[in-house]
Structure formats: C-alpha cells, structure tokens
Amino acid sequence: MGIARTQDEENERREFESFRQTLVAFASLERRKENGEFKSLSSHYANVDLEDKLVCVTCGVSFLGLALVNRLLLHGYSVRVIVDNQEDVEKLREMEISGEMLACKNKISVVMAKPTEIQGLMEAFDGCQGVFHTSAFADPAGISGYSKAMAEIEVKATENVMKACARTPSVRNCVLTSSLLACIWRDSSQHDLPPLVNHDCWSDESLCIDKKLWYALGKLKAEKVAWKIAEEMGLKLTTICPGLITGSEFSYRNPTATIAYLKGAQEMYANGLLATVDGSRLAEAHISVFEAMNRTAFGRYICFDQVIEREEEAEKFASEIGMPANMICGNSFDFIPTRFELSNKKLNNLMSKTLRSCYGES
C-alpha cells in the first residue's frame, strides 16, 4: 500500500509540475503582451468582451481538465476551476501562495463544489458565460477502474451539471466531454450497419451491458441524459467524443481511464475503431467548438488524431502505455472483424475555419 501511495503522489506531482510550467509560460506571455510584442497579430476572439470570457472547468485537476485550463488561459480566458475536495483546493492555493500563479491571480480561481449538489454547482457557475464539463471520474474499487456503479454515478453527476447550467442565468453555453466509445459500440451482427462511423452514430446500450463495457455505458448514458436536459430546459450544448486521450505520461497519470477505455481493445483494433487523441489537441478542440457555438457549432463532434490500424502501430502504442501488445492485437479473435471507417470531418472543418479566421483568411 505504501508503494501505491508513493506512486500516486509522484503522479500528482508530475501533473502539477506540468500545470506550474504552463502558468510560468503564461506569465511570460502576459509580459510580452504588455510590451506590445503581439500588437500586429490578428485573433479570432479579439472582439470578445473580456467580461464575457469567464468560463468554468469541472474536474479541473484531471489530465484533460488541466490541459484545458492551460489552453484557456493562453487564449485569454479567465477560468474558474471546479474541484470536489478540499485537498485539491489546497494544492492549487499553495501554488498561488508560492507565487507560481501570481501572474494569473485575476485569471484563475478555484471553487469546491460537489457534483451531487445542484445548488452548489449553480453557485460555482454563477457569473460564468460557459461551462466545460470534462466528466473525468474514476472508481478505484472497480476491477477495470470503472465499475457498473460508477457509470450510474457519472450519469447522475452529468445530469446535475446540466441542470445547474440551465438554471444559472449567466451560463450561455456548455461543452460536455463524452467519448468515442459512445459512438462505436454497435451490434455488428446487423448487416445493415453503415461502414462510416461519425457524429451521428450512437453505441448500443444493451450491447455495452452484455459486454460489460461500463466506461462506454457511462459515457453513453451521460451524454444522452445531457442532450435530454438541454432540449427540455433550453440549454445550448455541444458534446465532444474523443478517442483515448494520450500525451506525456497520460496512461501513468490516469491508469483508471486508460484501462477502462481499452476494455474491448482487440475488437476495436480489429474493426478499425481504436483511435487516440493528444490531450493538447483535444483541449484546443474544446475551445474551438465553444467559440463557434454562437455561430456554426452544434451537436456532437468526434475527435481523434490517430487510428491504430497496423500491427506495428499497435505494438508501439502498447509499449507506450505499458500494456502487453497481445491485449491490443490479440493472438486470435472470437469474432469476425468488420472494418469501419472513423470520421472526424465535422470537427476538422470547424477547426480549419477557426485557423483561417485567425490569419484573416476567408
């Protein structure tokens, strides 16, 4: 048990060291802005009122949460980080007291709110124009790190967050982080399944239950309840469905999410549906979608930057996450693989438009 605690502490230290380095970079960027080094650069958000740039990030100390906070700061947003325990609050406060967050003191704040308490979430969201619900939950008691009970907890937490967003007058838009797993687990015995898997595809709930894919089930049901509440309560919502999040030491910092996502990896690999996305690119995708919600962004967006299709790719990936290659490739299959094609065209089109606007191109 002592070794486990030591490893956990080391993982947390690495996460916050990464966060600290970004805050230092942010401070340097702010100084360069003050010195007028960026006056000639155009920006697609330059005409946004700074008072409209206060946003909230839930699960703000998760791998994705920290990456998103970092990118939001660099984009000029003020960020309210939501955590659900006092320990995480104190860790972030220590960074502020030590001076590491000094340059961001007017840009970042930390609030503790329980996902089980709608009123507390509303108070945390008050004044924010947008909410990013990164939905980064984990269950150490689950065999794969994510049990069936955790799926129901995630659904309820997402339901509460959506209701709190809808009831908070200042909140205009919400971006929910779902998962590619909410799109790809369909019954392949149905011969009429289209080969293209895109944002219009939904996983089969009964199939997830039969295969005990609890992580996929949790993401699927949470996203569905989010859309239901958004429709009923008039909340402007978009969802992003990412592949397995990767990045510097992600699997070691987040073994629960990695192992839970990869349950069924052999079948995903055989069907051409095992995809990954770098955490920084995913964070940038969240911001691109959020900033386009008052113009063209709507619905769901699949996000990935690599589909693992060849054996050498699978072996390299397995090595990077510290997993035996046969857990990805498999020595044999108990099913007949059906090749599908993943499409993130909708997101790519939106992000390319964002880049063109940054450079003043039509």
pLDDT value of residue 168: 98
pLDDT of 172-226, one tens digit each?
999 999 999 999 999 877 777 889 999 999 999 999 999 999 999 999 999 999 9
Q: How many CA atoms lie within 13 A of 211 on its CB side?
A: 22
- For 292, residues 6+ apart whose C-beta sits below 8 A from its C-beta are 350, 353, 354
pLDDT of 120-170, one tens digit each?
999 999 999 999 999 866 544 444 567 888 899 999 999 999 999 999 999
pLDDT of 35-91, one tens digit each?
443 333 223 333 334 456 899 999 877 888 888 988 999 899 999 999 888 887 777
> Strand locations in the chain, DSSP E?
54-57, 78-83, 108-112, 130-133, 173-177, 196-197, 236-242, 244-246, 275-278, 299-303, 306-307, 341-342
Output 61 or 253, whichever has higher pLDDT: 61
Structure tokens, 101: 């967050």
pLDDT of 300-353, one tens digit each?
999 999 999 888 999 999 888 888 888 888 764 455 566 899 999 999 999 987
Output 60 or 229, whichever has higher pLDDT: 229
pLDDT value of residue 166: 98
Pick from 179, 152, 170, 157: nearest CA to 301: 179
Q: Show which residues are catalytic.
A: 219
Range with the poorest average pLDDT among 60-69, 98-107, 234-243 = 98-107
Residue 293 has pLDDT above 60, yes or no: yes
**pTM given for the model:** 0.82
- CB contact at 8 A, 272 and 85: no
pLDDT value of residue 212: 94
Average pLDDT over residues 240-268: 80
How far apart are the C-alpha atoms of 301 and 178, rounded to whole Å?
10
How far apart are the C-alpha atoms of 183 and 186, rounded to whole Å?
8
